[in-house]
Amino acid sequence: MPNPFVIGSGPPGTNYQVMKKAFEEGWGGVICKTLSLDSKKVVNVTPRYAKLRDSNNKVFGWENFELISDRPFETMLQEMQRLKQEFPDRVLIASIMEEYNKGAWEEIIG
């Protein structure tokens, strides 16, 4: 890992292109957007962002309220494998979420 700077799970970990760009720009690691085995269960109707404001009402950051990726698990897995081949010195963490079902958890961490 070239440095300790890691992008947290969210829009910057949405797909191969944006994670690759983060690595090209020098980030030490990326936590991909949260994945689930069945992306069809996810319906993101609209991006959910909120401005973080200081005591003077000045914007100093953003919150992301989207919970999980709506992209297919296999697609994300292939993209993460490709990224690890291209950037072996970088940390790539999979954020995972599953229903309360032991079999699903065993499959996703397989």
Judge whether 50 lies within some domain. Answer: no
Judge whether 54 lies within some domain. Answer: no
Distance CA 93, CA 84 (A): 10
Distance CA 74, CA 86 (A): 18
Judge whether 49 lies within some domain. Answer: no
Total domains present in the chain: 1
Looking at residue 47, what is its pLDDT?
A: 65
Average pLDDT of 21-48?
A: 84
Looking at residue 24, what is its pLDDT?
A: 97
The rounded mean pLDDT for the chain is 88
Judge whether 46 lies within some domain. Answer: no
Query: Which residue would you say has higher pLDDT here, 62 or 92?
Result: 92
What b/e sequence results for 12-44 when a residue is b if at least 16 CB atoms lie within 10 Å of its CB, and e otherwise?
bbbebeebbebbeeebbbbbbbbbbbebeebee
Query: Which residue would you say has higher pLDDT here, 87 or 101?
Result: 87
Average pLDDT of 30-48?
A: 78
The verdict on pTM exceeding 0.85 is no
Looking at residue 58, what is its pLDDT?
A: 95
Looking at residue 55, what is its pLDDT?
A: 95
Four-residue CA torsion sign, 15, 22, 4, 86: positive
Distance CA 86, CA 65 (A): 30
| Banded model confidence at residue 46, pLDDT cuts 50, 70, 90 | low
Domain that holds residue 10: 6-39+67-109
